[in-house]
Structure 1
Amino acid sequence: MAEKKEQPDASKDEPEQIVDPWRVVTTSEKGVDYDKLIRQFGSERIDDAMLKRFEEVTGHKPHRFLRRGIFFSHRELKNILDLYEAKKPFFLYTGRGPSSSSMHVGHLIPFIFTKWLQDVFDVPLVVQMTDDEKFLWRELETPDVARNLAYENAKDIISCGFHRDKTFIFSNIDYISSCAAFYKNMLKVEKLVTFNQVRGIFGFNESDAIGKISFPAIQATPSFSNSFPEIFGEAADVPCLIPCAIDQDPYFRMTRDVAPKLNYLKPALIHSTFFPALQGAQTKMSASDKTSSIFLTDTQEEIKNKINRYAYSGGGSTEAEHREKGGDCDVDISYQYLTFFLEDDDRLAKIKEEYSSGRMMTGELKRELVVVLQSLIGDIQEKRRAVTDDIRRHFMTPRKLNHKA
């Protein structure tokens, strides 16, 4: 059955927004209208009943990303919870497009959450490094340059703490050339999707390189368990859950349309909101703009300076105005970042109350964030120093993973 497709609401009264795998733009300083995006994409919101079901089935309090609506939308998450309750296997699939040698804090969001899901469900994970995509879309001189970026980013991902015997990280450039099963599934998807379909979904045109037009089939292929014979053998019936930002959903709407035609299972998805740039929530961050985010290679002093200099403030223009009217947490970037990274719900609520009332100044709020991010990034940097080339190769070697049969 085809996925529900709805056209964007064309109301002139609503801020214009564009969300696709390459662009996230909105005219609203509060960022993307996610309710509108749910209507447009035809997904389902993660509501209180779903969170309650999650806790009942897993025995775990929902992650702060779920509690705070950061992972806010899904497709068939209920099916995954039913499988787990019935003690039936499934696997996780997420990915990274390696566009620079270092990831930034926004890139951490799906990996922090996926690591938690791996721990909670005790299931295998595949991580697709789309180095081929970055070669096609960006001005990288050779595929080898893109692949080397994938290797560097893989070390960052490993530093998030993924289980070495339950995680396979793969470069598309490496794996497609060596795995016939993966390539055969790619071909099957490519045969079933027309140029008109990908043009409608992704906006491709006659001037685009043919590699771009065929790439969606590559991103679809890890959704199917028999694409990984070293892990699942020939089994094509192991379901998949994909944690990703919602701008990646068009790839998997296409995948879910194609899957039944191949007698494969549709992947389930759980979508996150976007992590805003330091300068504000109207666009997502760019790895090419070093002032738009905090990078995992930034020093403690650089973290402090970037937040103090670039983090968009929702506070008053003067101290007197701020004391009188308070700060706007809906647009203040320091507060928004704390919703992602501060674990303590009570402390977060207290900060919101103090800042909104004007009792906490912008400088104090920024100091709260500096402490949190210096600790987070310092910990990741320490772990990354321990990731040798041999460890990276282990994670990127096709092999049997420790998972429930």
Structure 2
Amino acid sequence: MAEPDVKNGPEDVAEKLSKLTMGDSKVEADDDDFVDPWSVASKSATGIDYNKLIKKFGSSKIDDELVTRIEKITGKPAHHLLKRGVFFSHREMHGILNKVEQGKPFFLYTGRGPSSNSMHLGHLIPFVFTKWLQETFDVPLVIQMTDDEKFLWKDLKLDVAQKMAIDNVKDIIACGFDKEKTFIFKDTEYIGQSPAFYQNMLRVQKCVTFNQVRGIFGFGDSSNIGKIAFPSIQASPSFSSSFPQIFEGKKDIPCLIPCAIDQDPYFRMTRDVAPRLKYPKPALIHSTFFPALQGAQTKMSASDPLSSIFLTDTPNQIKNKINKYAFSGGGATLEEHQKNGGNCDVDIPYQYLTFFLEDDERLAQIKEDYSSGKMMTGEIKKTLIEVLQPIVKKHQERRKMITDDEIKEFMRPRKLKYDYSTKK
């Protein structure tokens, strides 16, 4: 899936806002934010206004009622990323829960656009949550590696994009997905192996005009034709018929797509096309953006090693990056901080803790202490370092254990361990 370029600065944001379109009509946007599948920018110190974005995109906010319903149906506590509003928006999540209550199947679909040899912490978020969804609902998962998309959009040679995809697959497997229930595929390989996938691409392409795709994605006369055709590739995994080896040729099994909200335009298009193909519309659950170390105005860039913590970073690199580059919401002086406290809405160490510190009580105490001025900037940075170092180290240890044979098995088209005969 696409990874937005990081842009910063009022002039760039204003230029992009003037071009923002969704569907066939232009969306009115304020002067602060710009979001599309390739660029995310905000002039606000607190970053994207997600309530406004929900209204612009026409999705639904995840409320307490939905979280409570998920807990009731699964019999398990909601994931901390869901409870804390990191996953904040959805399309037809209630429809998926209705299927679960009726004993009917669904599957998960997410993806990764490989643009570097190593993923960063922000890339982990959708996979951490997707793993929880897979385990909680006991459903199959397909993961699309869009090496073709990166070749079309980035200044990358095709073989380099393909190699990056395999490097990223190692990071994804290291998240702990169930091999018997997970199929990872690379576009440049799987499309040639699967007539069913290619046929669905063609069906989508025939349903969407150039004017429509230009309106949705902002393509222009100078856009290469690969970009224009690519949305059909990202749409096709939404349909169970694209994976006959997994779903036994069934065409009516819906999917749930966990993704960052910048990917929503692809699936708005897909949801428009699905009824015409007599396929179920995909449901979505959207996450916020993981902010750059330098501040919440933008999403991180895989091409900027100083914008985030990478999964290849050493403990010392993690410590130095946080201490040197993590934007602080603390006071300019000790006296000012003790008097007014820190601003957790803009403080990057606190924001990162909301993603990775699972202990709700400890997080609440940190917020109280930092906001009151009792906890200093150096202390909250130290806390974050202590949280992240073991997470990254454990990930690196798991990644080292992954063999080429294991990668091949995850990426081999095959039937997954899921008995549809038990479903109504």
Which residue of the partner structure matches residue 149 of structure 2?
Answer: 133
Structural mapping, 1:40-55, within 5 Å: 40-55=56-71
* 1:379 aligned onto 2:397: no
CA distance 1:391–1:10, change in 2 (3 Å): closer
Contact 1:5/1:41 (8 A) holds in 2: no
Contact 2:23/2:216 (8 A) holds in 1: no
Structural mapping, 1:82-101, within 5 Å: 82-101=98-117
Which residue of the partner structure matches residue 48 of structure 2?
Answer: 32
Q: Residue 4 of structure 1: CA displacement? A: 9.0
Structural mapping, 1:228-239, within 5 Å: 228-239=243-254
Question: Of the candidates 319, 341, 346, which is equivalent to residue 326 of structure 1?
Answer: 341
Structural mapping, 1:126-205, within 5 Å: 126-141=142-157, 143-205=158-220
Structural mapping, 1:95-110, within 5 Å: 95-110=111-126
SS at match of 2:180: coil
CA distance 1:187–1:10, change in 2 (3 Å): closer
Structural mapping, 1:204-215, within 5 Å: 204-215=219-230
Contact 2:23/2:212 (8 A) holds in 1: no
Which residue of the partner structure matches residue 276 of structure 1?
Answer: 291
Q: TM-score, normalised by structure 1?
A: 0.97
Contact 1:4/1:42 (8 A) holds in 2: no
Q: Residue 321 of structure 1: CA displacement? A: 0.7
Contact 1:123/1:404 (8 A) holds in 2: no
CA distance 1:336–1:103, change in 2 (3 Å): same
CA distance 1:51–1:6, change in 2 (3 Å): farther
SS at match of 1:161: coil
Which residue of the partner structure matches residue 263 of structure 1?
Answer: 278
SS at match of 2:259: strand
Distance (Å, rounded) in 2 between the aligned partners of 1:40 and 1:85: 31
For residues 7-66 of structure 1, give each alpha carbon's deviation from its aligned partner in whole angstroms, at most 9, with x where no partner exists. Answer: 64445xxx4211000000011010000011000000000001111111111111110011
Distance (Å, rounded) in 1 between the aligned partners of 2:380 and 2:370: 8
For residues 136-169 of structure 1, give each alpha carbon's deviation from its aligned partner in whole angstroms, at most 9, with x where no partner exists. Answer: 011112x222111111100000000000000000
Which residue of the partner structure matches residue 253 of structure 1?
Answer: 268
Distance (Å, rounded) in 2 between the aligned partners of 1:186 and 1:172: 12
Distance (Å, rounded) in 2 between the aligned partners of 1:185 and 1:9: 33
Contact 1:5/1:42 (8 A) holds in 2: no
Match of 1:64, as an amino acid? H
* 1:63 aligned onto 2:82: no
CA distance 1:343–1:221, change in 2 (3 Å): same
Match of 2:189, as an amino acid? D
Runs of 4+ displaced beyond 2 Å: 3-11
Unaligned runs of 5+ in 2: 1-21
CA distance 1:125–1:10, change in 2 (3 Å): closer
* 1:292 aligned onto 2:321: no
Contact 1:198/1:204 (8 A) holds in 2: yes
Question: Of the candidates 7, 16, 21, which is equivalent to residue 32 of structure 2?
Answer: 16
Q: Residue 404 of structure 1: CA displacement? A: 3.4
Contact 1:7/1:40 (8 A) holds in 2: no
SS at match of 1:177: helix
Contact 2:24/2:216 (8 A) holds in 1: no
Q: Residue 170 of structure 1: CA displacement? A: 0.3
Contact 1:5/1:40 (8 A) holds in 2: no
SS at match of 1:243: strand
Distance (Å, rounded) in 2 between the aligned partners of 1:106 and 1:176: 28
Distance (Å, rounded) in 2 between the aligned partners of 1:326 and 1:288: 34
Percentage identity across aligned positions? 65
SS at match of 2:286: strand
Distance (Å, rounded) in 2 between the aligned partners of 1:18 and 1:6: 16
Which residue of the partner structure matches residue 406 of structure 2?
Answer: 391
Q: How many pairs were matched up?
A: 399
Please provide the CA RMSD for this pair. Answer: 1.2
Q: Residue 233 of structure 1: CA displacement? A: 2.3
